[in-house]
Chain A
């Protein structure tokens, strides 16, 4: 298959050489691969953006999952924000609350847009709708934010993994946070190379993160990991914009993430067997939720 980039190095080189945004290279590749018009592709992404907006709004009004494990934290954060006395700053906590909002909606079986997965769906929109208030982007720039995220996610998905069952949480929230960091940099006016640095710095700090959901539900610790993914991406974006670079090139970080995932025991890859899921409280919650072993059949 003919593609415009197979790794981050090729992506950055092409964007730099042609003096284009990363998002533009992603759009051009999508046109080339799917044979669809630019307009059609932009419209589809616009629709995904709308789904993300609606999910954040819904989450900020307060939702509750069926298990009762998650829901309502986005509201707590927004109320705390309104008091105007936060330690980390308004933008940071706004991003965190919106990431949490999205994942609380996801846990409550609401409608979300997977970015790159459902369990990690909060990071990209959470940061976007917070950064939006600072950078005042146009609707097109907001759509481009998703294409920039998508370009990096495309490389990770094809060269490593975006599946928690295959590579742990580092492959999900780790990838999502890196994608968001790169997109923030582009929206803030950073160069394609700085986008890659932001991705690398973020993912380096998510390496080794295991997937250990309590009771196998995408709730604990997934919702809060989206909060930390969002904050991680904002810090890394600022670092890259300041001119900080990663000593390990982006593609090598992605490769390291892949290899770490392959050596992770299956108990820490979305089986609900190890890590937090295996703690006394994790086990107790599981038995409380599923009680007398629900029989998986019916008619």
Chain B
């Protein structure tokens, strides 16, 4: 079940005009910023399908930039996100694509600063609900039934054991886990679906473990 809470249906409270193209877009931008862990200084945003066809009218562009500036769906500042981005030193480019994607509302967000770069694909599935389908080239297969945490890490021995030990310490049960890497010894990604909710303290503890680059919780 992709929609779990009644507030996925009666909600979110948001700035109009479109839950999928404005609120969902803001959420995709905000998750990207979250995963990047800091304010990016540049962003290249590729839009597909209905996003590419209608982004100007729906404010999809200002909403994604708003999300990258850490604005929530109901933040009035979404309307001035372009000017705010200028102030915050974030340059951006929108690239409407013609390629066909599995979901009609798809955005590929590539962001970075002078030190690092990240790419993420998000889809907006209706009513403001979003899913992350790809991170740094790794396809994510989240069932959507459980809360999930994403851990970007260096491909070193002990990493996986450290993370699962930390979760075990807090009595958090892993329902499903996937580990993928691009090349041996390089960047890798853990996708961990869990039965209980994790708080900021646990996330911080995981983030402080050796060879962990970034930890993010995917809400719902």
A111 CB contact (under 8 Å) in B2, B6, B76: B76
Q: Please report the C-alpha to C-alpha distance between residue A112 and residue B19 in the assembled complex, in whole angstroms.
A: 10
A119 CB contact (under 8 Å) in B17, B53, B94: B17
Taking the nearest CB of chain B, how far is it from the CB of A248, in angstroms? 23
Q: Which residues of B contact A272 (CB under 8 A)?
A: 53-54, 57
State the B residues within 8 Å of A (CB): 1-23, 49-50, 53-59, 61, 74, 76, 78-79, 82, 86, 91-96, 103-105, 124-129, 145-146, 197
Q: Is A217 an interface residue (CB 8 A)?
A: yes
Q: Is A164 an interface residue (CB 8 A)?
A: yes
- Majority DSSP secondary structure for residues of B touching A: mixed
Interface core residue of B4, B57, B76, B129 (most chain A CB under 10 Å) = B57
Residues 1 to 15 of chain A near chain B (Cβ within 8 Å): 1, 3, 6
Look across to chain A and name the residue whose beta carbon is closest to the beta carbon of B197.
A35
B53 close to A216 (CB less than 8 A): yes
A158 close to B105 (CB less than 8 A): no
Q: Which residues of B contact A35 (CB under 8 A)?
A: 197
A266 close to B104 (CB less than 8 A): yes
Contact status of A149 and B1, CB under 8 A, knowing A218-B18, A290-B56: no
B17 close to A118 (CB less than 8 A): yes
A117 close to B61 (CB less than 8 A): no
Taking the nearest CB of chain B, how far is it from the CB of A167, in angstroms? 8
A158 CB contact (under 8 Å) in B1, B10, B103, B124: B1
State the A residues within 8 Å of B (CB): 1, 3, 6, 26-27, 29-30, 33-35, 41, 44-45, 47-48, 51, 65, 67, 105-119, 121, 124, 146-147, 149-151, 153-154, 157-158, 161-166, 171, 179, 213, 215-219, 266, 269-273, 289-290, 294, 296-299
Taking the nearest CB of chain A, how far is it from the CB of B54, in angstroms? 3
Interface core residue of A1, A108, A163, A294 (most chain B CB under 10 Å) = A163
Q: Which residues of A contact B92 (CB under 8 A)?
A: 297-299
A163 CB contact (under 8 Å) in B8, B15, B126: B126
Contact status of A162 and B127, CB under 8 A, knowing A151-B6, A216-B54, A272-B54: yes
B15 close to A109 (CB less than 8 A): yes
A296 close to B94 (CB less than 8 A): yes
Q: Which residues of A contact B50 (CB under 8 A)?
A: 165, 269-271
A157 close to B93 (CB less than 8 A): no
Look across to chain A and name the residue whose beta carbon is closest to the beta carbon of B143.
A1
B10 close to A113 (CB less than 8 A): yes
Look across to chain A and name the residue whose beta carbon is closest to the beta carbon of B45.
A296
Q: Which residues of B contact A27 (CB under 8 A)?
A: 6
A149 CB contact (under 8 Å) in B10, B18, B54: B10
Q: Please report the C-alpha to C-alpha distance between residue A290 and residue B9 in the assembled complex, in whole angstroms.
A: 32
Q: Please report the C-alpha to C-alpha distance between residue A1 and residue B143 in the assembled complex, in whole angstroms.
A: 11
B94 close to A270 (CB less than 8 A): no
Q: Which residues of A contact B55 (CB under 8 A)?
A: 216, 296
Q: Please report the C-alpha to C-alpha distance between residue A290 and residue B56 in the assembled complex, in whole angstroms.
A: 9
B94 close to A158 (CB less than 8 A): no
Q: Which residues of A contact B56 (CB under 8 A)?
A: 216, 290, 294, 296
A109 close to B59 (CB less than 8 A): yes
B9 CB contact (under 8 Å) in A162, A171, A269, A271: A162
B125 close to A163 (CB less than 8 A): yes
Taking the nearest CB of chain B, how far is it from the CB of A203, in angstroms? 15
B17 close to A117 (CB less than 8 A): no
Q: Which residues of B contact A6 (CB under 8 A)?
A: 1
B82 close to A298 (CB less than 8 A): yes
Q: Please report the C-alpha to C-alpha distance between residue A277 and residue B33 in the assembled complex, in whole angstroms.
A: 35
B61 close to A217 (CB less than 8 A): no
A48 close to B11 (CB less than 8 A): yes
- 17 A-B contacts (beta carbon < 8 Å): A1-B146, A6-B1, A45-B7, A109-B15, A111-B13, A114-B12, A114-B19, A114-B23, A114-B127, A116-B127, A121-B16, A157-B8, A162-B9, A163-B124, A271-B104, A290-B56, A296-B55
